[in-house]
Structure 1
């Protein structure tokens, strides 16, 4: 049997693959060029939301079926199918209009600029800072937008109004974006709100969906004597629910934990406030996305009268956790058994 050199064979297969992929890409490009005006306008307008698979499907769909595709496209992103308004669509187009007005001095349409894109996807920032030239060495102009404490920087090197986004890792803001995964079609092709279709994820009218801070709490007794009670309170906070701020390539936040111990009659016998920092690099953040951040807090009671009151029943430990980045807080209580 004749042997075929390995490297030339691999090169031949690679060339064939590139040819096939190139042909597919050229075909899609040609389809896009030949789109009727209203469909070309739709494809341009939804560039920040449409997936690659959806784009290919739309281009491959005959013109007679494109209106149904557009209807399904927005229905799959409707956060509340029971209302007449599609909140995501309304918010998306409202932000495009606002971005065109706010950033109209740029060379292109406002919503197509870097600042416009961020505005459309994430809405107005909670805070905008424009450092003085002296703070930026006098060589460029800088804008910093803050969303829940997370900064996005835009740099205009020539101070001509042409700001470019220079903060590229926006993973901490993914839940804020209007660009959420669309709900899948049901087996029968039904749309949101119809039988066989789950509703889309809820999305805020102004800022987009985001997860709410939460934690689990467990209290373990370590010392229980007539003259002293000690316990270790363990809090577990899912990483996906934590808002961080980015500084020097690291993701940081500070938690404030207020702990109060009450006796069976709900009277306070001990309370204290703790501060705990979370500090991770980008690699750790991505690796631990499904993990939890742990805070352990020692609790101790040594006052004689307080010990007597605690011994008379089952004490309750109340916990209030606050994330200083975003100022979210949540309260829970556990029994001290």
Structure 2
């Protein structure tokens, strides 16, 4: 009997955990969905066009940062993928956009731009197939219409179930394409493969997550705290004479009214000291820092009619990396 009660409690806790996890994930997704809807046409166009190669971390960085910083982000985005920085042209960028144009010309039968189709996506990411077999009358006596693209000895299969020109990718595991001898691949495939391997491995992107917790008190003042989480993988460290690893992060927070005027600001430095052994144990963990927030009743009046914005500017001392993020501030 006792065991049944324990099992029931365990199931209840598990159900609550899964519900909480789902709710948090939904809130997180809605946050970035709203930010994407607010993008101006130029930024929205960039984000749409690079959907096949941008990482989720890069996408969130782009959406979180202020409008005026996105131009520099875009430049760095392409610079990281440049296979030969010694040349004037970025071969990766040129080839990527060329393949989008080619996909639009090649795959015109699906009622949407060719680059947004399954065949267009594979063409853009991996280039023209070495061999392309088409079966417009069906594959076999009763099979659907098909296309099979070969990269080396690896087949990528597209099926047109109703033979109406709409092809769906049915080869879900494309991992073997990464292991085929890269001499068969075009420059884009090589550069993209190298970048993806790097970004999953030792690549370092300076990033942080943050939130603002605040409470309006009875006297109309506001008390709160700014919480910032920074992955330890974001840091560059210097080793001191004792063998310890040191750096620091400098946090500046600005609250601006609807006219862009600074209403409240504060700065603080946070030293980070660790050892190589400790750093290994920190893999996947984050440094958590806090900054208190306090607004007078006169300051809070400025946000009654229209919301303002709160900016977090974080700088890492050793590398000099600087990142700004912005949130709406309303009371």
Q: TM-score, normalised by structure 2?
A: 0.52
Where does structure 2 lack aligned partners over 5 or more consecutive residues?
Answer: 1-5, 180-184, 207-235, 237-331
Distance 1:6 1:145, change over 3 A: closer
In structure 2, what is the Cα distance between the partners aligned to 1:5 and 1:186?
42
Return the match for 1:142 from 131, 140, 146: 146
Counterpart mapping for 1:218-237 below 5 A: none
Specify whether residues 12 and 146 from structure 1 end up closer, same or farther in structure 2 by C-alpha distance, changes over 3 A only: closer
Task: State which of 107, 111, 125 in structure 2 corresponds to 1:107.
Answer: 111
Secondary structure of 1:152's counterpart equals: strand
Partner of 2:160: 156
* Structure 1 residues 226-284: Cα deviation after superposition (integer angstroms, max 9, x where no partner): xxxxxxxxxxxxxxxxxxxxxxxxxxxxxxxxxxxxxxxxxxxxxxxxxxxxxxxxxxx
Q: Secondary structure at the match of 1:162?
A: coil
Compute the RMSD of aligned alpha carbons.
Answer: 2.5
Does 79-88 or 18-27 show the bigger shift? 18-27
Per the alignment, residue 128 of structure 2 pairs with 124
After TM superposition, give the deviation of residue 143 of structure 1 in Å: 1.2
Provide the residue aligned with 2:192 in structure 1: 179
Distance 1:10 1:135, change over 3 A: closer
Cα offset for 1:134? Answer: 6.8
1:62 aligns with 2:66: yes
SS at match of 2:111: coil
Aligned 8 A contact 1:48 1:179 in 2: no
Aligned residue runs from structure 1 range 174-253, under 5 A:
174=178, 176=185, 177=189, 179-180=192-193, 181=196, 184=203
Instruction: Please identify the structure whose Cα radius of gyration is greater.
Output: 1
1:43–1:5 distance in 2 versus 1, CA, 3 Å: same
Structure 1 stretches of 4+ moved >6 Å: none
CA offsets, 1:152-197, max 9 Å, x none?
Answer: 111112211111111222111125535332663588xxxxxxxx9x
Match of 1:36 among 40, 56, 60: 40
Map of 2:303 onto structure 1: none
User: SS of 1:115's equivalent?
Assistant: helix
Taking the aligned partners of 1:153 and 1:130, their CA distance within structure 2 comes to 10
SS in 1 for 2:149: strand
Tell me the number of residue pairs that the alignment of Structure 1 and Structure 2 aligns: 186
1:91 corresponds to which residue?
Answer: 95
More helix by share: 2
Residues 93 and 134 of structure 1, relative CA distance in 2, 3 Å threshold:
closer
TM-score, length basis structure 1 = 0.51
Write out per-residue CA displacement over residues 11-59 of structure 1, whole angstroms, 9 at most, x where no aligned residue.
4343333322221111111001111111111111001101111111111
